[in-house]
Chains A and B, each alone.
Chain A
């Protein structure tokens, strides 16, 4: 049964479920772990531990909740020689992620114009519903995006060279191949570049309202009272279709090779198989689309700020993905090994000195961006050396849902949500009423306690807190 390791860590021993090859480790406090026990989170952490070729342990972050296949908040590292890659372990929204922009403005410069700012952002940033995308690409142009990621966006005047430096992997996974992305995925994606999407995706205007680590905040270009913008979006229909296509391919592989899986959604193939290599190339193409997507949204945000507030100067603090599998080097049983880290609703949190983080942050550690729910705080943390040693350089990705969509919707109305947010000082605009009610703040776990757990466990440390003042949603 579940064992408590310390105040912020629990262990699911191999004896929990037959077939487990590894222990499960869950970062949580008493209250968060109790909530996880109400759904299938622990079972899903254990299920991942039954897959072949994963190393050390199957992890879950404090925002973990029941997903499909992997839990949301799940992290696992596969041996690249003998391990597998699981499309379900990355998720449908490939390289869904967040990026934070810092402004030279303070709250007093923006607050009086917040209504106009939100209206204009809403008008200028398409949600992607009903063909409202502003960028229509030919197949060849889309393939260019898939191969070049953010470089495509910068070449087409959607950003600056500086932006590229402050994106995980510089906004480009170089093993992308559009030839292994299906025609269907191409068709779904070609009018969706530069669209926000719905569900939990959003763009938020925030104020830095608390600094915990002056040195790190300074290095990240953040100061008290400053206006920031947080963008949360992913690879849209293109990524969803790639995942759907490869789930079928992996499912077929499992059947043809007579492999027994504990959950069909965990369908996986050896990394070194043709199917595995093709998936990783298609996943990389989708990741590049997501990087370019957030870049285009950034461009329009800058334009709107220029028109309404008087300056386009929004600097990219960092952009990171939280649904992705990455080739990385980690110490496994005292040896440095190359592994494929699956992060399904978890972010990378590399500590200082790591060569993969921007040189401006090398003495600090990478920024770890944790969005809260609408109306609650978001956090900036920094990655740590401890994360490198015990969580494959990973941390949590958000608040995590606490209530089902149906329950959240039944308990409130869109008007009530808008009024409630207004009371907190947050102006919200959404395309759909369901988008507001299903995503209302009470539907989420308390982001503060999620952040406290990763901070106290030492796998990411608090740098500053961001309070929302305006939000647009699909």
Chain B
């Protein structure tokens, strides 16, 4: 795997395999993989930041929610993400919480090379593997 992420084949959709030194970094790389499916990442400048705070019942669904938030911002605010930053993930009582931000700009059909709409993030074959020195996320998207 390169420094970022790997595209995974699926009979009808597309997946991402992302590896990081820790969970935060693995999520950031999976996010980069997802946003790069939608537009050419090199064409995005950083002009805006979106603060993101989410909660879920476990780490798996927390990651899925975070990735879904990228799709939500694209549809709702026309915002495309160049980078994401995960500041903190914590467990409180029965829930997990994630805090961070997305940075990017408003999508423009003239400026950015649009690739494809990603409909949603799925639990299908989802895998989170945490070891001492590395975290791997495997996730598939509905196209």
Contacts and interface: CB of A to CB of B under 8 A. Distances in A.
Interface string B51-78: 0000011101100010010011001101
Contacts of A407: 9
Contact of B109 (A129, A188, A240): A129
A72 B12 contact: yes
Contact of A401 (B11, B68, B75): B11
A474 B123 CA distance: 26
A333 interface: no
A472 B49 CA distance: 34
Interface stretch (B25-33, B112-120, B129-137): B112-120
A331 B142 CA distance: 34
A192 B75 contact: yes
B75 A237 contact: yes
Interface string A424-460: 0000000111110010000000000000000000000
A184 B76 contact: yes
Given A188-B72, A244-B68, A432-B115, A404 B11 contact: yes
Contacts of A188: 72, 75-76
Given A129-B109, A248-B56, A199 B72 contact: no
B58 to A, nearest CB: 8
Interface in A378-435: 401, 403-407, 431-435
Contact of A251 (B61, B114, B115, B143): B61
A237 B119 CA distance: 7
Nearest to B76: A187
Nearest to B115: A434
A277 interface: no
Contact of A431 (B12, B75, B114, B124): B114
Contacts of B108: 130
Nearest to A96: B119
Interface in A232-281: 236-237, 240-241, 243-244, 247-248, 251-252, 255, 263-265, 267
A69 B109 CA distance: 34
A263 B14 CA distance: 18
A130 B114 contact: yes
A29 interface: no
A137 B12 CA distance: 33
Interface stretch (A60-68, A215-223, A308-316): A60-68
Interface string B85-122: 00000000000000000000001110000111101111
Interface residues of B, number: 37
B118 to A, nearest CB: 9
B10 interface: yes
Q: Interface extent on A, as a size class?
A: 35 or more
A204 to B, nearest CB: 19
A407 B8 CA distance: 10
A247 B10 contact: no
Contact of B11 (A39, A131, A263): A39
Contacts of A128: 117
Q: Which of B58, B65, B71, B140 has the most CB atoms of chain A within a 10 A radius of its CB? A: B71
B143 A199 contact: yes
A446 to B, nearest CB: 16
B80 to A, nearest CB: 9
Given A68-B140, A404-B10, A406-B14, A199 B57 contact: no
A92 interface: yes
Contacts of A91: 142
Interface of B: 7, 9-14, 56-58, 60-61, 65, 68, 71-72, 75-76, 78, 107-109, 114-117, 119-126, 140, 142-143
Interface of A: 39, 65-69, 72, 91-93, 128-132, 184, 187-188, 192, 197-199, 236-237, 240-241, 243-244, 247-248, 251-252, 255, 263-265, 267, 401, 403-407, 431-435, 438, 474
9 contacts: A66-B11, A129-B109, A188-B75, A199-B117, A237-B75, A244-B68, A248-B61, A406-B9, A438-B143
